């Protein structure tokens, strides 16, 4: 297993990034200013983008694993790597995501704790409804962990 920091041609990873954030213009807001990490295990399995939000806070964005490789620990490995990678330069890792039991449980099991909610975020910022686990996303919830 290898995790690579991608510095060029980040849009080459768009197919996978779109699994986590369904609207390309939203990804465009952070892709170039963020660090793109790609996890390979023989082939590309998972990616994420991390942005520096200032004050020692880094945000994990567009964490995605191809569906056929999900539930095999690849996203967890990426989170562990990210936490170690930024531990010397930051104090907090945050993630903003949809409010469904599956997503919330995923992040809580990895050490993240609820920090805040932005009501109607997905309704106001996305052109089309986003459905996760059969539920339309409305609010964006943020979780954080110490680095």
Q: What is the pLDDT along the chain (147 residues), one digit of tens a residue?
A: 999 999 999 999 999 999 999 889 999 999 999 999 999 999 999 999 999 999 999 999 999 999 999 999 999 999 999 999 999 899 999 999 998 889 999 999 999 999 999 999 888 988 888 888 888 888 999 999 999
Domain coverage including residue 79: 2-146
pTM metric for this prediction: 0.92
**How many whole angstroms separate alpha carbon 67 and alpha carbon 54?**
33
The answer to whether residues 100 and 133 touch, using CB atoms and an 8 Å cutoff, is yes
Domain count, the chain: 1
Domain CATH code at residue 32: 3.40.630.30
């Amino acid at each position: 297993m290898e995790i690579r920091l991608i510095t060029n041609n980040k849009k080459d990873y768009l197919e996978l990034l779109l699994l986590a954030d369904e609207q390309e213009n939203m990804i465009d807001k952070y892709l170039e200013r963020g660090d793109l990490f790609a996890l390979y295990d023989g082939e590309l399995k998972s990616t994420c983008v991390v942005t520096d939000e200032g004050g020692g806070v880094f945000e994990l964005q567009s964490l995605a694993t191809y569906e056929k490789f999900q539930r095999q620990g690849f996203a967890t490995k990426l989170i562990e790597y990210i936490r170690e990678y930024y531990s010397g330069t930051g104090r907090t890792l945050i993630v903003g995501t949809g409010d469904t039991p599956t997503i919330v449980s995923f992040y809580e099991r990895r050490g993240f704790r609820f920090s805040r909610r932005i009501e109607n975020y997905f309704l106001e910022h996305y052109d089309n409804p986003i459905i996760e686990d059969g539920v339309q996303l409305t609010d964006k919830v943020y979780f954080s962990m110490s680095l």
